[in-house]
Structure 1
């Protein structure tokens, strides 16, 4: 006889997969960062309240429903941070949120020769001893930074935030360099046979760069407010680093503005060449029409089936008509060409 065993309800572990934790690190001054699990992150945060020489970095996946609740419960992350994420704000900025810093960064995959691009947004919440970064889609900024953590020797949460800002600045600088090279190639082809395609490519590239400028450029008002009224725990040296970051990003944005202006001038040049080519084609068609007009008129008159047609009995009538048509055609061509000559 088979004995039916009672079903045992298995309780899910409070693991990285449940909480949405992707990376967890604890940083110490002068030591390599230590990788943490969910349980270790909670224990490290509870034990470092009095330690000022360490901080935590938690990178979470917001596609997990428990991620926000876990951060609010164990690390006292402001609810306003998650409200900002729910509003879907994607413009790059860094600003003060209560006694913490809130930053929005963006990463893009860009190819100047392709029409499609992929974007991903990273939301960051930073306070003394803790950095929380959250995303829905994978962000290459974090992946590149995670590979360089050991060599960086980060000492504070704001240094980590500054590194992420520098990574986004590098992304925008790379986009400008790739676009410059691509525009150089189009500029060299302007005298070729691809005026129409060049104009379409320039228009697509200009629209893409304007979109990236709107997406990647930090909001100056929020940044200036943070620099003028930083939180009390923010080190003055970090404020100076933010000022330097603002200046460097301004240089990159100036290069981007110069590139978009250059693309606009190339578009105007391509449009002028296309208009000139259309004018030449239209003039050729007009000249052919004018030269064919005497032939059509003479053929129309002499093709009428009526009496009294001149030269009908003259043996040299055909030659005379041909000479008459040639005279009128040459006179019409002379008039057209004479009007086309610049005065």
Structure 2
């Protein structure tokens, strides 16, 4: 998604080129400028054309960010994280959108496309966003609406893995569980501080934040708190399931090793007997008797059956 600008009016919003929108910002009820990327042109536009403080420009164009909210003068700097439609190879699980808000003005910067931005664009054009408080509250709702089903899907995937828990399928299950656990850890890294950022924004003393905006922000913060708890549960359950798979694999290997040992013990006396009778020396008893071969076979079968019965009676095999 490229950069765009929307100026809101009484009958809704209208999308304008960036330069034209900047010229109309001062006289508009509400204007939203969204800048894609953090190039030198973006920094120059924020600092020179919009006149934002250096601290705000640096925060909006920082390479590494985390969810945060800081009140600066009559405005607020908000960094949030949302899912990307197509995850870039160098991006985190949740990519950042940085927002500067003050009365009548919203400036957002994002390095990647994010889910929910089209929804905000449509709401702005339809005139449903009346002030910066509405914008941030709706953006938080859009992010939670998109992220909540994904967190629930991670829990369902882990439920399926727990139902299929079997030592013979351990290798495939361990890969699935590791993927779920890694994704849960990535999400939790940003979901937990995002809750704190929204709670801090709801508590800011800003004239453009109305009571209903604060209620919506607290509701979104509560949803992020619930997602944080769910992600914690998924991470701990995934670790426990991995330990169970390791135990099952160890038990399976122990069982197979025991069977191999028992088979070896059964054949040990048989190997001794056949080796003794197979020596190429004179004087082996019954060497020329016609029934000698089948007699040796019978003795070997009796020894094997007796050894196996002893193992069964001793409860080595269960």
Aligning the two structures, in what range does the TM-score lie when normalised by the shorter sequence?
Answer: 0.7 to 0.9
Give 1:258-277 correspondences, 5 Å limit: 258-277=233-252
CA contact (8 A) 2:266 2:304 kept: yes
- The match for 1:37 is 17
**Secondary structure of 1:57's match?**
strand
Give 1:68-147 correspondences, 5 Å limit: 68-85=43-60, 87-109=62-84, 119-147=94-122
Give 1:151-190 correspondences, 5 Å limit: 151=126, 153-190=128-165
CA contact (8 A) 2:174 2:242 kept: yes
Give 1:187-206 correspondences, 5 Å limit: 187-190=162-165, 194-206=169-181
**Secondary structure of 1:25's match?**
strand
Cα distance change, pair 155–341 in 1 and its aligned pair in 2 (3 A) = same
Cα RMSD after superposing both structures: 3.2
Judge which range, 288-297 or 309-318, deviates more: 309-318
Q: CA deviation at 1:303?
A: 2.4
Matched, 1:291 2:266: yes
CA contact (8 A) 1:91 1:216 kept: no
Matched, 1:65 2:46: no
Cα distance in 2 for partners of 1:36, 1:81 equals 24
Cα distance in 2 for partners of 1:34, 1:254 equals 41
CA contact (8 A) 2:131 2:208 kept: no
**Secondary structure of 2:256's match?**
helix
CA contact (8 A) 1:168 1:216 kept: no
Q: CA deviation at 1:324?
A: 3.0
Cα distance change, pair 266–300 in 1 and its aligned pair in 2 (3 A) = same
Q: CA deviation at 1:134?
A: 0.6
Matched, 1:27 2:27: no
Give 1:236-247 correspondences, 5 Å limit: 236-237=210-211, 238-247=213-222
Cα distance change, pair 189–232 in 1 and its aligned pair in 2 (3 A) = closer
In structure 1, runs of 5+ residues without a counterpart are 1-19, 49-53
Q: CA deviation at 1:24?
A: 0.8
Cα distance in 1 for partners of 2:127, 2:245 equals 48
Cα distance in 2 for partners of 1:170, 1:46 equals 33
CA contact (8 A) 2:82 2:94 kept: yes
Cα distance in 2 for partners of 1:247, 1:107 equals 16
Judge which range, 126-135 or 58-67, deviates more: 58-67
Judge which range, 85-94 or 100-109, deviates more: 85-94
Q: CA deviation at 1:192?
A: 9.8
CA contact (8 A) 2:115 2:146 kept: no
Q: CA deviation at 1:125?
A: 1.2
For this pair of structures, how many residues does the alignment match?
A: 312
- The match for 1:12 is none
